[in-house]
Chain A
Amino acid sequence: MSENNNIKKWYESEGEKSDVVISTRIRLARNLNGYPFPHLMSYDQMKEVNQKVRDALMGGNSALRDSFRYIEAEKATAVELASLAERHLISPEFASNPKGRALLLMNDESVSIMLNEEDHLRIQVMGSGLQLEKAYDMADKIDTLLDETLNFAFDEELGYLTACPTNLGTGMRASVMLHLPASESDGTLRRVAASLDKIGATIRGSYGEGSQSVGAMYQISNQVTLGISEKDTISNLTEITSRIIDLEKKCRARLLESESYQDSVWRALGILKSARVMSSEEFVRLYSALRVGVAEGLVSGMTLGRLGEAYESVQPARLMEKYGESMNSSQRDKKRAELLREIFRETDIA
């Protein structure tokens, strides 16, 4: 699997409202007429669909032919697949069942198209910070380009036809990943979360519904896909997100007045700058504390974009991909600490 290491990846830049919003994602589910949905497809049919989509995107006349690379999932190693899943470019389910599946990946990794996951195509656009409209525009552009040659399954009443009826209609899931340490710690978030489903949105901890959020990262997304347009879905979600950002900012302002909170930020920096061994669990905790410090100006010599890059670079599969697939967890913990010391060398108390 060749990589374009010299191209700046989407998560290395910071976007709108990035003090609270980590990333934005738009996903469109699309299917081709005349084939069963992936759970019923034969291996040969999967290959056929892969080829059709690949030709549509990377064929002679396509405006995007040079922007993508094609990755056959079954030819990638387990570590490569895990690393793609860590970066949310494929789902963990896709990574664990690679047979007959493929991925079309844009060079800056902002667009990935999973082939033969739950649907024939899952077009995904990721961006840093809050940029739902921009991400949708990109997804829409790619969808329109593919629709020129592929015969997408569509029904006037049901919209885009999907393997699971929950995605009928627009086939779109719009999500934002938020960092909400302050509103989480004082209980504000719990009250807000309870009311979200009444307005058509869901909130989950970064490791799923019912699970404790890790590093105060939460994902908010739209629930309904039928009977509401893409534009309205996005403006609803943007509105909801803006309100949660306001809440978080208010809670942060209160919290930052306390000396013990400031102390926790600087302690996190101290450990990141000096530790010799660092597990990923500990890293996520420290990352969460430090992210607020960088966002609120308590720390100098670090940007949110570089922090995002640091986060991706010390994930387990990423480390193995770069420094040896045979690394065990204690070797990784040492390597992680070493990289972090280097990354935060110039970072200091503001």
Chain B
Amino acid sequence: MLCEKCKKNEATAYIKTNVNGDVHEYHLCGECAAEMQNSGAFGSMFNAFSAFEGIDHLFSPMMSGFDMVSSLLSSPFGSFGAMPSLTSGKRCSVCGSDFRSIADSGKVGCPNCYTEFKSRLAPTIKKIHGNTVHCGKHSKVTTQESRENETAELKKQLAEAVRTENYELAAELRDKIKAMEA
């Protein structure tokens, strides 16, 4: 089958978009798929790859807000190879995911991927949530860690206060550390 857009190359990418029941199918070659992706012709589906996948099914069994199927006819990741923004040799040290497979599935591989692919995931996260950081409940483990870091910092300040013979400050710091370690 020839690419629907350029009508020259063999179509290697099959892309189906479904936005609230409005279904479109595309058979494209790698180049045209990459071009359309860059021009934003598929909406935001490649960049905000997962913006619509986290929808809950619990109250809404038949829900499919946005359903992107991209199965590729020739090789599994064939046409994505033509997309420079999605190619990467780097793999997560915990789960082995590369960025391409994350973008393709719409799901991150493991918690560690968020650290390993931090800068590449940032635009997507920003697109979904805006330019913001977490506020709300903290996991205990992290809270404990950050508390330990804080006491370590105070201990450093205490040592410095003792060295410079600033005993008033030192007493204050000592009480603080005591309270935190209690």
Is A321's beta carbon under 8 Å from chain B?
A: no
Is A169's beta carbon under 8 Å from chain B?
A: yes
Q: Which of B62, B111, B115 contacts A211 (CB 8 A)?
A: B62
The distance in angstroms between the C-alpha atoms of A161 and B112, with both chains bound, is: 9
Is B146's beta carbon under 8 Å from chain A?
A: yes
How many contacts between A and B, using CB within 8 angstroms? Answer: 172
B95 and A156 form a contact (CB under 8 A): no
Query: Which of these binds chain A: B68-76, B134-142, B173-181?
Result: B134-142
Interface set, chain B 146-171, CB cutoff 8 A to A: 146
Can you list 26 A-B contacts with CB-CB less than 8 angstroms, sorted by A residue number?
Answer: A25-B58, A31-B111, A37-B108, A91-B61, A154-B139, A154-B141, A155-B115, A158-B114, A159-B136, A161-B111, A164-B53, A164-B106, A165-B50, A165-B108, A168-B128, A169-B136, A170-B134, A172-B136, A175-B59, A205-B60, A208-B61, A209-B60, A209-B63, A226-B132, A226-B134, A227-B135
Is A3's beta carbon under 8 Å from chain B?
A: no
A224 and B53 form a contact (CB under 8 A): no
A27 and B137 form a contact (CB under 8 A): no
The distance in angstroms between the C-alpha atoms of A157 and B52, with both chains bound, is: 22
Interface residues on A, range: 35 or more
Q: Which of B53, B57, B133 contacts A226 (CB 8 A)?
A: B133
In the bound complex, residues from chain A placing their C-beta under 8 Å from that of B140 are 144, 147-148, 152
B63 and A227 form a contact (CB under 8 A): no
Q: A40-B95, A227-B130, A227-B134 are in contact. Are A210 and B51 (CB under 8 A)?
A: no
In the bound complex, residues from chain B placing their C-beta under 8 Å from that of A152 are 139-141
A92 and B57 form a contact (CB under 8 A): yes
The distance in angstroms between the C-alpha atoms of A207 and B128, with both chains bound, is: 24
A170 and B20 form a contact (CB under 8 A): no
The 8 A CB mask of A104-115 against B (1 = contact, 0 = none) is 000000000000
Residues of B within 8 A of A (CB): 20-21, 50-65, 94-95, 97, 105-112, 114-115, 121, 124-125, 128-130, 132-142, 146
* Chain B residue at minimum C-beta to C-beta distance from A22: B59
Closest Cβ–Cβ distance, residue B65 to chain A (whole Å): 5
In the bound complex, residues from chain B placing their C-beta under 8 Å from that of A221 are 56
The distance in angstroms between the C-alpha atoms of A228 and B56, with both chains bound, is: 19
Q: A36-B109, A204-B60, A221-B56 are in contact. Are A165 and B128 (CB under 8 A)?
A: yes
The 10 closest A-B pairs by CB, nearest first: A227-B132, A166-B54, A159-B134, A208-B63, A153-B111, A154-B139, A226-B129, A91-B57, A164-B54, A36-B95
The distance in angstroms between the C-alpha atoms of A157 and B135, with both chains bound, is: 8
The distance in angstroms between the C-alpha atoms of A229 and B50, with both chains bound, is: 22
In the bound complex, residues from chain A placing their C-beta under 8 Å from that of B128 are 165-166, 168, 226
Q: Which of A31, A210, A227 contacts B133 (CB 8 A)?
A: A227
Indicate the member of B55, B97, B115, B121 with the most A CB atoms within 10 Å: B55
